[in-house]
Structure 1
Amino acid sequence: MTVVVLGIDALDPDLVDPDAHPNLTLAAHRSIETIESVAGEPSTHELWPTIITGLRPEDHGLTLEDDGVAWGNPLLELGSTVADFLMPDALQTRIGAWLLTNTDADAFRTPATYYEENDIETLFDGREATAIGVPNYVVDPDSEDREHNLRRSLGDLFERDPDATGGHTSADPYEFYEQCLEMAMVRIARARRGLRGGRYELVFAYTSGLDLVGHVTYDLPALQRSAYDELDEFVGELREDLADGDELLLVSDHGLQDGVHTDEAMVAGTDEAMVEAIGSVVDVRAAIEAELRGGDHRGDREEGSFSEAGAAEVKGQLEDLGYM
Structure 2
Amino acid sequence: MTVVALGIDALDPELVDSEAHGNLTLAAHRSIETIESVAGEPSTHELWPTIITGLPPSEHGLELGDDGVSWGNPLLNAGSRVADFVIPDGLQTRIGAWLLTNTDTDAFRTPATYYAENGLTTVFDGREAIPIGVPNYVVDPDSEDREHALRRSLGDLFERDPEATGGHTSSDPETFYEQCMEMAMIRVARARRAYRGGRYELVFAYTSGLDLIGHVTYDRPALQRAAYNEIDDFVGELRADLGADDELLLISDHGLQDGVHTHEAMVAATDESLVEQIASVVDVRAAIESELDGTDHSGAPTHRTASGEGGDVGGDRVKEQLEDLGYM
Cα deviation digits, residues 292-315 of structure 1 (max 9, x gap): 0011134x3212332433111111
Mean Cα displacement is larger for which, 287-296 or 85-94? 85-94
Summarize the alignment of residues 59-138 of structure 1 with structure 2, pairs less than 5 Å apart.
Answer: 59-138=59-138
In 1, distance between residues paired with 2:5 and 2:230? 19
**Is 2:303–2:315's contact at 8 Å kept on the other side of the alignment?**
no
**Is 1:166–1:259's contact at 8 Å kept on the other side of the alignment?**
yes
Structure-1 residue corresponding to 2:39: 39
Structure-2 residue corresponding to 1:315: 319
**Is 2:24–2:250's contact at 8 Å kept on the other side of the alignment?**
yes
**Is 1:52–1:285's contact at 8 Å kept on the other side of the alignment?**
yes
In 2, distance between residues paired with 1:38 and 1:204? 28
State yes or no: 1:222 paired with 2:226: no
DSSP-derived class of the 2:14 partner: helix
TM-score by length of 2: 0.97
State the one-letter code of the partner of 1:317. Answer: Q
State the one-letter code of the partner of 2:113. Answer: T
In 2, distance between residues paired with 1:233 and 1:70? 33
**Is 1:278–1:287's contact at 8 Å kept on the other side of the alignment?**
yes
In 2, distance between residues paired with 1:90 and 1:214? 26
**Is 1:157–1:172's contact at 8 Å kept on the other side of the alignment?**
yes
Summarize the alignment of residues 80-229 of structure 1 with structure 2, pairs less than 5 Å apart.
Answer: 80-229=80-229
Structure-2 residue corresponding to 1:18: 18
Structure 1 residue 75: Cα displacement: 4.4
In 1, distance between residues paired with 2:173 and 2:242? 34
DSSP-derived class of the 2:98 partner: helix
**Is 1:3–1:297's contact at 8 Å kept on the other side of the alignment?**
no
DSSP-derived class of the 1:95 partner: helix
Mean Cα displacement is larger for which, 245-254 or 311-320? 311-320
- The count of corresponding residues between Structure 1 and Structure 2 is 323
Structure-2 residue corresponding to 1:48: 48
**Is 2:304–2:314's contact at 8 Å kept on the other side of the alignment?**
no
Structure 1 residue 79: Cα displacement: 2.0
State the one-letter code of the partner of 1:323. Answer: Y
**Is 1:198–1:302's contact at 8 Å kept on the other side of the alignment?**
yes
DSSP-derived class of the 1:13 partner: coil
Cα deviation digits, residues 246-305 of structure 1 (max 9, x gap): 10000000000000100000000001001110000010000000000011134x321233
**Is 1:4–1:248's contact at 8 Å kept on the other side of the alignment?**
yes
State yes or no: 1:58 paired with 2:62: no
TM-score by length of 1: 0.98
**Is 1:72–1:80's contact at 8 Å kept on the other side of the alignment?**
no
In 1, distance between residues paired with 2:72 and 2:304? 45
Cα deviation digits, residues 131-170 of structure 1 (max 9, x gap): 0000000000000000011011111100000000000000
Name the % identity.
78
In 2, distance between residues paired with 1:111 and 1:244? 35
In 2, distance between residues paired with 1:199 and 1:10? 29
Summarize the alignment of residues 255-270 of structure 1 with structure 2, pairs less than 5 Å apart.
Answer: 255-270=255-270
State the one-letter code of the partner of 2:134. Answer: V
CA RMSD of aligned residues (A): 0.9
DSSP-derived class of the 1:244 partner: coil
